Amino acid sequence: MAHLSSMPTLEVGQDRTMILNMGPHHPSTHGVLRLILEIDGETIVRIMPDIGYLHTGIEKTCEAKFYQQVVPLTDRIDYLCPLTNNLCYVLAVEKLLGLDIPPKAQWMRVMLNELTRINSHLVWLGTHALDIGAMSVFLYCFREREDILRLFEMVSGQRMMTSYFRIGGLALEPPLGFFERVREFANRFPAKVDEYENLLTGNPIWGMRTKGVARITAEDAVALGASGPTLRGSGVDFDLRRDMPYSGYENFRFKVPVSQDGDVFARYICRVREMRESIAIVQQTLDGMPEGRIKADAPKVILPDREKMKTEMEALIYHFKIITEGFAVPEGEVYQAVESPRGEMGYYVVSDGTAKPYRVHMRAACLANLQLLPAMCGGRLLADVVAAIGSIDIVLGEIDR
Amino acid sequence: MPLAPTITELEQLKGHPALAKLLAWNSEAVEGAKFDRDELTIYIERSSIREACGLLRDDRDCPFNFLVDVTCVDWYPKQPRFEIVYHLLSITRKERVRLKVRLGDSPEVDSVTSVWPAANYFEREVYDLFGVRFNGHPYLRRLLMPEDWEGYPLRKDYPVEGYR
């Protein structure tokens, strides 16, 4: 969109190359990404991503909402990991308010975040393999994804747009039988990852399409702002969950998968191993889930229980005030980052002391990761572009916001 | 957990590697600093931002080698109106710092794309949504909005519903 009038022009003497449009409706561009490719035969000379087709102005909308009304908007940014977005936003506002979150809420948040990571990686693995031509993996992945979506539905009432985290805690107590269902899934899942790996990791065709393809060095990845598995696939050992822990991640033991090769296969193997680590974290949260409240002690910020609201005068007043005029947040600014399935997701929230955020900015991991695409694909074949797009795992909702 | 009071005294904040480095380099480039909610903000004088960023990136003890984000805040109708906000991260030392440049009379500032190529899209986004120009940017065009869009949507004097 933004590039429409900026098509790379061909100069005299350069008539070897041609311009090819890929997208915005190409199935392998994962949404509405348009790529303008300048190709010489099958070889990529230049590649220019064109984004903005999904721009909905969420940052502007946030400025017109109360703080608690922004939570459902955050679901819609990266629609494959809504709970990670919820978490990042509520952590930022909680930091502005100076709230202490009870341990049970923190552990629930960690558990659901890791399930979200698996959910997101399953979609990535299925579509990435589908793009390259391994069609059956998609069906296997979506089988397990369905189980996770059912867990989300059980706890929040929604399969995708969960909005389960609230400023100060969680929306509701997890329902009866929830933890048993999660444990049953967690016990079953590692064998499923073996199944995916049996289909792909040792598969010679998969290896030929991914090994040595779309290579990026660690220096380039850092300079271009890559994060998450895209960065770790190039050998930079950095994970916010371990290195700058938030929401109680320091209580869990897990490994951070790193690969030195920097190609499509390296990013693939990092993500697949991450799924195994995530399920290990889920097991740890189940084993040690603390008892207690799920909301912080801040009646002016957190809606009272439904039951209390109907029987206690004070609770009714708080409920009325929060719903009609929100709650004021002390002046200041905060940048909170979490490790989303795609990399560093950050929320920069500025408060001017009123009940509406003065500015909410989302640092989208995909936007930065997309900048790697020209560096990865220059001089390579057209078919490798498809593998490269899949390997950086973009979500256009997050890029365009 | 009550909020700790904000510290704005440069003397008390000198222990932070980024601020110490910048003060040792050119104390006139540092307009001020703020430590609030465990986050350090350094206000940089407009003309020195590119050099300051290069200096922090190449620091031997604590290299802020990762540009996390560039964004902008519009304080309309207050002056100076725009604040460009840079979030830097040191992957080796696991430190963060926030740099800010205040833009008063004219909304333009030097681009930091020569320091971190990552700034390319971030600066284009700020240009697109706030109308702040980045001098020396290799390809300063709208990123998210259509090329022929009028106005800059994230400015505070732009209505939420848009112009009708």
- How far apart (Å, rounded) are the C-alpha atoms in residues A193 and A210? 19
Determine whether the interchain pair A224/B3 forms a contact, defined as Cβ–Cβ distance below 8 Å: no
Instruction: Report pLDDT for A4.
Output: 34
**pLDDT tens, B85-122?**
999 999 888 889 999 999 887 888 999 988 888 898 99
Domain co-membership, A46 together with A119:
no
- Smallest Cα distance from B63 to chain A, Å: 12
Domain co-membership, A65 together with A45:
no
Domain B10-135: state its class: alpha beta
Q: Are the C-beta atoms of residues B80 and B103 closer than 8 Å to each other? A: yes
Amino acid identity, position A367:
L
Is residue A37's pLDDT more than 90?
no
Q: Which is nearest to A395 in space by CA: A345, A335, A330?
A: A345
- Closest residue in B to A5 (Cα–Cα): B147
Domain co-membership, A9 together with A85:
no
In this prediction, residues A29-52 reach a mean pLDDT of 84
In this prediction, residues A38-49 reach a mean pLDDT of 86
The count of domains in chain A is 2
Q: Pick from B68, B141, B158: which is nearest to A2 by CB?
A: B141
Q: Are the C-beta atoms of residues A395 and A77 closer than 8 Å to each other? A: no
Domain co-membership, A173 together with A66:
yes
Q: What is the mean pLDDT of chain A?
A: 87
Instruction: Report pLDDT for A7.
Output: 42
Instruction: Report pLDDT for B164.
Output: 65
Instruction: Show which of A50, A70, A88 is a domain's final residue.
Output: A50
Domain co-membership, A134 together with A78:
yes
Structural domain boundaries enclosing A43: 4-50
Is residue A198's pLDDT more than 70?
yes
Determine whether the interchain pair B121/A350 forms a contact, defined as Cβ–Cβ distance below 8 Å: no
Domain co-membership, A357 together with A259:
yes
**pLDDT tens, A125-183?**
999 998 888 888 999 999 999 999 999 999 988 888 888 998 988 988 889 999 999 99
Q: Pick from A5, A52, A223: which is nearest to B143 by CB?
A: A52
Domain co-membership, A43 together with A63:
no
Determine whether the interchain pair B87/A1 forms a contact, defined as Cβ–Cβ distance below 8 Å: no
Instruction: Report pLDDT for A14.
Output: 61
Buried b (16+ CB within 10 A) or exposed e, A328-359: bbeebbbbbbbbbbbbbbbbbbbbeeebbbbb
- How far apart (Å, rounded) are the C-alpha atoms in residues A293 and A272? 34
- Smallest Cα distance from B100 to chain A, Å: 12
> What are the φ/ψ torsions at residue B53 (nearest 5 degrees)?
-65, -45
DSSP one-letter code for B148: T
Torsion of CA A306, A307, A311, A313, to 10 degrees: -30
Domain co-membership, A261 together with A282:
yes
Q: Which is nearest to B91 in space by CA: B73, B117, B64, B71?
A: B64
Q: Are the C-beta atoms of residues B143 and B121 closer than 8 Å to each other? A: yes
Angle between helices A103-132 and A264-287 (to 10 degrees): 150
Residue A6's pLDDT band (cuts 50, 70, 90): very low
Instruction: Report pLDDT for A1.
Output: 36
Beta strands in B5-63 (DSSP E): 30-36, 39-44
Domain co-membership, A9 together with A153:
no
Residue A118's pLDDT band (cuts 50, 70, 90): very high
Domain co-membership, A347 together with A369:
yes
Domain co-membership, A353 together with A369:
yes
- Alpha-helical runs (H) found in A133-167: 136-156
Beta strands in A10-73 (DSSP E): 18-22, 34-40, 43-50
Whether omega before A357 lies within 30 degrees of 0, making that bond cis, reads no
Percent of chain A with pLDDT over 90: 36
> Would you tell me how many other CB atoms lie within 10 Å of the CB of residue B11?
6
Q: Are the C-beta atoms of residues A23 and A35 closer than 8 Å to each other? A: yes
Domain co-membership, A46 together with A75:
no
> Would you tell me how many other CB atoms lie within 10 Å of the CB of residue A260?
10
Q: What is the mean pLDDT of each run of 10 residues along chain B (164 residues)?
A: 74 78 81 86 89 86 88 88 91 89 87 89 91 89 87 88 75
Residue A401's pLDDT band (cuts 50, 70, 90): confident
Instruction: Report pLDDT for A271.
Output: 92
Q: Pick from B39, B68, B74: which is nearest to A363 by CB?
A: B68
Determine whether the interchain pair B145/A52 forms a contact, defined as Cβ–Cβ distance below 8 Å: yes
